[in-house]
């Protein structure tokens, strides 16, 4: 089957670049503060073929150029180009100020078996995506789906009209006429839409119909009574993961998380939809894990990984953040586990090596990753002693080094130096950051403050670095209310993941209720970037010095999807691409729950239902093993199994 093709990475970088240009706040645009790579301008696609019988092809392109068949030239106008039986060489020479794209169908079809060069002396395999299989659906237009959005309520306020669309939305707003200048303000909250300080607003000059670029809103205030129509703009992702249980509030949390995540899954996995709408590596790493339990969408994951890394030479840490380079490397292992070997990691491997080289070249004499002054040590929005080397950064570096060692083996390369560096770092971490008296890892050794936060300790548990310190860390830090609580859903993700791993599912359910539950009870229709259950919701809309700066729809808030899928439905791949997988359901006090977890990027799922002591499971693919009440059961393809306590 024919598909549109491009130089590997080009389409992803093109759309990422254009998307990153669209952030606007108040009356200015706000471009990212890192380098963004774009598509190549000038490429050649090439395919040699042997036809058993005569046929014809048609060629289409985005850009300027020509198709050469055995040296004879044709335009890209879809005309029928005859091919005799026998051997042919087809080359498409193509140039574009946007992104060069090719579609050939007929006796020879464009797909990722075609070679392509950007005139650097090397040929690589073309990039492709099965979304784009029609010559008239050129991928230079990103294939969002559109549907009308009706307001839940309309009222006259402040001399204008306020529309409430009932829940967080993202889409295109159209003003029917703009006979006079019109001011339009979007709000994720009612307060925001009614404030001069709304982050997303537009002053539309008098003119005809005005169709605005897509943006986030629940509320829209318009200064005049003028026809306003709204269409949602979403990635058309089929719903695959499902969860429901005896706790209706938990069901509501799951749905709100799913809505949040769907809104943020666009050209790439975004951090949030209102404000920056950029791609951030740490946020994206969590999105990959959440995606595994709902859409299992390989394409957005690939686009995100490509967009984050860009091209060599490495211009700096990803998103300028030290930790975010490490997450990017870790994400390759997550991709491999989730998707299996589809050749994608091979293509990115040189970029992984050069990024790790960049990181390794910037360590201090102890092998610690440090801030060189022009980067950003993030970890979390939290009070933390960030003096010199930070423990949490070293944990991430160690984890990334281990990933490089394992990936090296997959690539048939010697990764011993990565493992050696990881082992040496492990010793140094314990020597410099472990506080035997506190029974915890400290943030920083350089300041002498020996401050303890949850973050490094969570990583120690999560990455299996705690060893015999495990119980002490759990009780001294994670289960110790005297250590300041995590305030972001971002790090809640890792904290609850670590607690589940340690068997504290019931505690995790309680914490999900306290944090996400209170947000949803308070009327949130999507999960916030940051949230304190102890403060009134209206009093915590600000962030970054802006009255409405906080994103109220942030992908990292969707972690209950991951937590419930991973630790309650209990599905986890045990070899790449789910060739084998475990199903270890855990009720943790729920009367009943059921759900589906997708297995593999295109099709495949496991359905699990637990009621009391009885568990029913059915997988549509081979390779699963169900664990229930201490026993293991092989899951036959499409055969439901029902096991109880007594079996």
Residues that bind a second copy (CB under 8 A): 17-18, 20-22, 24-38, 40-42, 44, 63-67, 73-77, 93-98, 118-121, 313, 315-316, 374
Nearest to 126 by CA among 8, 249, 20, 236: 8
**Least Å distance between CB 124 and a second copy?**
14
116 or 301, CB closer to a second copy? 116
51 or 66, CB closer to a second copy? 66
**Least Å distance between CB 307 and a second copy?**
13
DSSP annotation of 237: P
Q: Count CA within 13 A, CB hemisphere, residue 218.
A: 17
**Least Å distance between CB 324 and a second copy?**
15
d(Cα 189, Cα 444) in Å, to the nearest integer? 39
d(Cα 605, Cα 242) in Å, to the nearest integer? 10
Say if CB 207 and CB 245 are below 8 A apart.
Answer: no
d(Cα 619, Cα 604) in Å, to the nearest integer? 7
**Least Å distance between CB 7 and a second copy?**
12
24 or 424, CB closer to a second copy? 24
Q: At what angle do helices 322-339 and 344-360 cross, to 10 degrees?
A: 160
Sheet holding 5-6, edge to edge: 81-83, 55-62, 101-106, 5-6, 127-128
Q: Which two tokens stand for residue 430?
A: 């314990």
66 or 579, CB closer to a second copy? 66
120 or 141, CB closer to a second copy? 120
d(Cα 230, Cα 169) in Å, to the nearest integer? 10
15 or 398, CB closer to a second copy? 15
44 or 329, CB closer to a second copy? 44
**Least Å distance between CB 22 and a second copy?**
8
151 or 316, CB closer to a second copy? 316
**Least Å distance between CB 34 and a second copy?**
5
90 or 569, CB closer to a second copy? 90
Rg of the chain (C-alpha set): 26
324 or 578, CB closer to a second copy? 324
Nearest to 176 by CA among 122, 224, 139: 224
**Least Å distance between CB 275 and a second copy?**
14
Characterise 545 by phi-psi region: left (phi > 0), alpha (psi -120 to 50), beta (else).
left
**Least Å distance between CB 75 and a second copy?**
4
Give 531's contacts (C-beta < 8 A, 6+ positions apart): 487, 488, 489, 515, 519, 540
**Least Å distance between CB 98 and a second copy?**
7
34 or 142, CB closer to a second copy? 34
d(Cα 357, Cα 400) in Å, to the nearest integer? 12
**Least Å distance between CB 156 and a second copy?**
30
Q: Taking CA 242 as the corner, what is the angle to CA 240 and CA 244, rounded to the nearest 5 degrees? A: 170
DSSP string, 574-602: SSGGGSSEEE----TT-SEEEEEEE-SSS
d(Cα 295, Cα 495) in Å, to the nearest integer? 23
- The separation between CA 543 and the C-alpha centre of its own chain, rounded to angstroms, equals 22
**Least Å distance between CB 542 and a second copy?**
17
Query: If you count DSSP H runs as helices and E runs as strands, how many of each does the chain have, helices first?
Result: 15, 32
**Least Å distance between CB 510 and a second copy?**
43
Q: At what angle do helices 344-360 and 298-309 cross, to 10 degrees?
A: 30
**Least Å distance between CB 79 and a second copy?**
9
Q: Is 434 helix (H, G, I), strand (E, B) or coil?
A: strand
146 or 544, CB closer to a second copy? 544
Say if CB 607 and CB 594 are below 8 A apart.
Answer: yes
d(Cα 338, Cα 347) in Å, to the nearest integer? 17
Handedness of CA 170, 172, 173, 178 (dihedral sign): positive
**Least Å distance between CB 363 and a second copy?**
18
96 or 444, CB closer to a second copy? 96
**Least Å distance between CB 343 and a second copy?**
25
546 or 594, CB closer to a second copy? 546
27 or 468, CB closer to a second copy? 27
d(Cα 398, Cα 211) in Å, to the nearest integer? 49
Strands (E) located in 223-271: 228-234, 242-245
Characterise 596 by phi-psi region: left (phi > 0), alpha (psi -120 to 50), beta (else).
beta
d(Cα 136, Cα 486) in Å, to the nearest integer? 49
Beta strand 581-583 with 571-573 is: antiparallel
């Amino acid at each position: 089957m024919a598909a549109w093709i491009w130089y590997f990475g080009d389409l992803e970088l093109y759309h990422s670049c254009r998307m990153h240009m669209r952030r606007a706040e108040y009356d200015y645009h706000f471009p990212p503060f890192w380098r963004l790579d774009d598509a190549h301008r000038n490429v050649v696609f090439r395919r040699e073929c042997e036809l058993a019988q005569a046929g014809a092809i048609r060629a289409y392109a985005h850009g300027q150029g020509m198709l050469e068949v055995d040296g004879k030239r044709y335009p890209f106008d879809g005309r029928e180009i005859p091919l005799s039986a026998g051997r042919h060489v087809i080359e498409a020479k193509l140039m574009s100020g946007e992104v060069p794209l090719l579609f050939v169908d007929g006796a020879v079809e464009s797909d990722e078996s075609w070679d392509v060069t950007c005139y650097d002396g090397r040929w690589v395999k073309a990039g492709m995506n099965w979304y784009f299989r029609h010559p008239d659906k050129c991928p230079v237009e990103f294939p969002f789906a559109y549907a009308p959005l009706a307001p839940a309520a309309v009222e006259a306020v402040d001399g204008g009209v306020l529309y409430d669309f009932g829940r967080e939305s993202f889409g295109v707003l159209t003003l029917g006429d703009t006979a006079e200048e019109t001011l339009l303000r979007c709000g994720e909250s009612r307060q925001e839409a009614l404030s001069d300080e709304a982050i997303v607003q537009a002053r539309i000059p008098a003119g005809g119909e005005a169709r605005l670029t897509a943006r986030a809103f629940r509320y829209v205030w318009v200064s005049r009574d003028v026809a306003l129509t709204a269409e949602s703009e979403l990635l058309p992702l089929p719903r695959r993961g499902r969860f429901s249980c005896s706790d209706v509030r938990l069901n509501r949390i799951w749905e709100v998380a799913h809505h949040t995540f769907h809104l943020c899954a666009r050209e790439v996995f975004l951090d949030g939809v209102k404000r920056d709408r950029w791609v951030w590596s740490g946020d994206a790493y969590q999105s990959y894990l959440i995606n595994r339990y709902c859409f299992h969408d390989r394409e957005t994951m690939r686009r995100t990984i490509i967009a984050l890394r860009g091209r060599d030479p490495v211009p700096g840490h990803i998103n300028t953040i030290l930790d975010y380079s490490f997450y990017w490397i870790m994400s390759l292992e997550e991709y491999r586990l989730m998707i299996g070997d589809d050749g994608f990691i091979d293509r990115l491997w040189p970029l992984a090596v050069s990024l790790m080289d960049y990181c390794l070249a910037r360590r201090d004499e102890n092998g610690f990753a440090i801030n060189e002054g022009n980067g950003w040590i993030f970890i979390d929005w939290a009070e933390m002693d960030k003096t010199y080397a930070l423990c949490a950064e070293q944990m991430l570096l160690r984890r990334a080094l281990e990933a490089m060692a394992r990936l090296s083996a997959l690539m048939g390369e010697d990764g011993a130096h990565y493992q050696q560096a990881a082992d040496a770092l492990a010793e140094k971490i314990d020597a410099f950051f472990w506080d035997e008296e506190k029974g915890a890892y400290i943030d920083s050794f350089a300041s002498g403050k020996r401050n303890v936060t949850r973050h490094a300790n969570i990583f120690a548990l999560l990455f299996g670095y705690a060893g015999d310190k495990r119980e002490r860390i759990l009780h001294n830090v994670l289960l110790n209310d005297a250590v300041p609580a995590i305030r972001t859903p971002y790090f809640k993700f890792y904290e609850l993941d670590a607690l589940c791993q340690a068997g504290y599912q019931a505690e995790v359910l309680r914490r999900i209720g306290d944090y996400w539950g209170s947000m949803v009870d308070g009327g949130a229709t999507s999960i916030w970037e940051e949230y304190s259950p102890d403060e009134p919701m209206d009093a915590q809309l600000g962030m970054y010095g802006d009255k409405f700066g906080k994103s109220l729809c942030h992908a990292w808030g969707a972690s209950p999807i991951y937590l419930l899928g991973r630790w309650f439905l209990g599905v986890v791949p045990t070899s790449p691409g789910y060739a084998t997988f475990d199903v270890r359901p855990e009720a943790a006090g729920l009367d009943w729950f059921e759900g589906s977890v997708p297995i593999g990027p295109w099709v495949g799922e496991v359905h699990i239902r637990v009621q009391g002591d009885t568990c029913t499971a059915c997988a549509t693919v081979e390779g699963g093993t169900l664990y229930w009440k201490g026993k293991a059961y092989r899951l036959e393809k499409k055969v439901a199994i029902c096991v109880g306590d007594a079996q």
